[in-house]
Structure 1
């Protein structure tokens, strides 16, 4: 089969390998892992690679993605705060949902009752990042109301840090969840089975053995797909950072100046660009652009290639120093950060190919 470009090539064996490494690291601390599937839109081939690595519980932010995997043998959690308009689907397609609004939880209760089900929820607590979650001082009051609902079962507490405010997880803020767990047990005589201590940014606390003992769940996406924790960007030992590779086709190569001629105004995205005069350089245009990727998240595998910039449809590279003698039709390869991967996997203009290759050596 002739491949079409641009494309993302996914090495499923590397995904499976990374899952095994992350699970091994977390299990030593008594922590269960939800494999987060949103960055690749819950593509079933990749989900299966996760399951092959030992994941038994996946999470996604979108009901549409959970519908894709409804028949796959694993638990499913809706990670984004539930929408009242999707309450029936939330109950149908997720085993657990994360919530912070009592009104929405009451709507879920009604939906669960109409479907003859008990729906499990994790109450999200804001410990400082200021994204989703009940404020710490309001938790006991909302728990009291949740416990009155017949078709809702409160199974845990969770929090999210880093994604919005950049607040790092630590013993203090994650410790607030642990304290609340004990307060709830003392007041209501219930034992919460899940204390969900964040995402891949919490992995550094496992790596340096500082995570509070009673944190027993993490929601891991980037740690699996890109092999890194996200608090400091460290690579996870023995994990691959190249399971996902972006490939683009060169459509033009020309020697051109590095500073445009004429009066500089705003570009297509409302920014006023600035240019450094490097003289005449060999410039390659690759057929992919900002409609498909986050350009700032690209890293050419060829270290002698640099990125000049991009428009909606064109990525402009400086290939002057590359040892490769590029020509029109050649393929350039890139690693991606999480934001770039998210955009590429969501774009309908980027082909996706899923392959099993024998992993010979760890790329770090």
Structure 2
């Protein structure tokens, strides 16, 4: 629902703008659909970011008028394409930055670099003790420009963004600027999870950029908290009923592993009305779906089938009807990349 997305963008953009924070609109959640990127740009966002060059190419070809940021650290073999398609990229390896430098010189461009710093989440980033030396190396390279420092939180280790963590980034920036006599324009303080600090007015004032995807799509200030003034259901998943029958809740026969190698946990509930939907784990995992009708429960899924219990629902379902779900952010990522899931906007 584009109007709901517009409201989320406006709320987040205005909240951040009031604190002097630039919003990078992250498009990967919906595979860089140009219509979504255009809604971001129309809402004031001047930089869009994506983790896949294929998606950035899609946005370029669609004529999206915004700066493009590569938000996954580049693969060494793709540096030429990174420079060609993206205005800026997040980086942590000097050999890749050297490759970007060579590519930029060949293409007669200046490519902006944000050097990622690992402040504890243990995904991408240079260790704080190594930042100063790496910055000095980057400064010797032509074709690339060190635009600033960046950080990530709440990814593989679940480390929360805190004022103290971000002040470490500020301290590194201050030392670099003082000792090397350069100005770092950007301190990119994380992703949607860092919005909580903006809301609580605890984001250090030197942090002037956040990269927001989930917050726009689902109206979150962090992974679990809704942001006031946003809407949590701009994106819904519809799945069609292909079988509707009353069946025993307890299987008949000996139980071993299911088709995905798991041992099912069965709760005996007697005869239930069960619907099978034409979607499965090949498209999205059931843990990433919440039925819009709270009287419906998810029973199980295989690769192409999702079984739900509609016994308590007040809706009189029939074969051919659709059941609606709210997907999580990981669920959106999965479903949008399935060629079997069709995307519609309104």
Instruction: Identify which of 149, 154, 162 aligns with 2:154.
Output: 162
Is the 1:17–1:53 contact (alpha carbons within 8 Å) kept by the matching residues of 2? no
Measured after TM superposition, the shift of residue 309 of structure 1 is 1.0
Gaps of 5+ in 2: none
Give RMSD over aligned pairs: 0.8
Measured after TM superposition, the shift of residue 163 of structure 1 is 1.3
Runs of 4+ in 1 over 4 A off after TM superposition: none
1:57 aligns with 2:40: no
Measured after TM superposition, the shift of residue 173 of structure 1 is 1.2
Measured after TM superposition, the shift of residue 273 of structure 1 is 0.9
Q: Measure the CA separation in 1 of the matches of 2:96 and 2:245.
A: 57
TM-score, structure 2 normalization: 0.98
Instruction: Identify which of 10, 20, 37 aligns with 1:20.
Output: 10
Other structure's SS at 1:39 match: helix
Instruction: Identify which of 160, 178, 181 aligns with 2:173.
Output: 181
Q: Measure the CA separation in 1 of the matches of 2:35 and 2:315.
A: 33
Q: Which residue of 1 aligns with 2:299?
A: 308
Q: Measure the CA separation in 1 of the matches of 2:325 and 2:38.
A: 25
Gaps of 5+ in 1: 1-10, 356-364
**How many pairs does the alignment contain?**
344
Q: Which residue of 2 aligns with 1:358?
A: none
Q: Which residue of 2 aligns with 1:147?
A: 139
After superposition, give the CA deviation of every residue in 1:290-324 in whole Å (9 maximum; x if it has no partner). 00012101111111101101100011000000001
After superposition, give the CA deviation of every residue in 1:35-77 in whole Å (9 maximum; x if it has no partner). 0000111010111111122211100001100001113110110
1:240 aligns with 2:240: no
Matches within 5 A, 1:5-154: 11-70=1-60, 71-154=63-146
Q: Measure the CA separation in 2 of the matches of 1:253 and 1:41.
A: 33
TM-score, structure 1 normalization: 0.93
Measured after TM superposition, the shift of residue 272 of structure 1 is 0.8
Higher relative contact order structure (alpha carbons within 8 Å, sequence separation ≥ 6): 1
Is the 1:294–1:339 contact (alpha carbons within 8 Å) kept by the matching residues of 2? no
After superposition, give the CA deviation of every residue in 1:155-199 in whole Å (9 maximum; x if it has no partner). 000001101110000011111110011010111111100000000
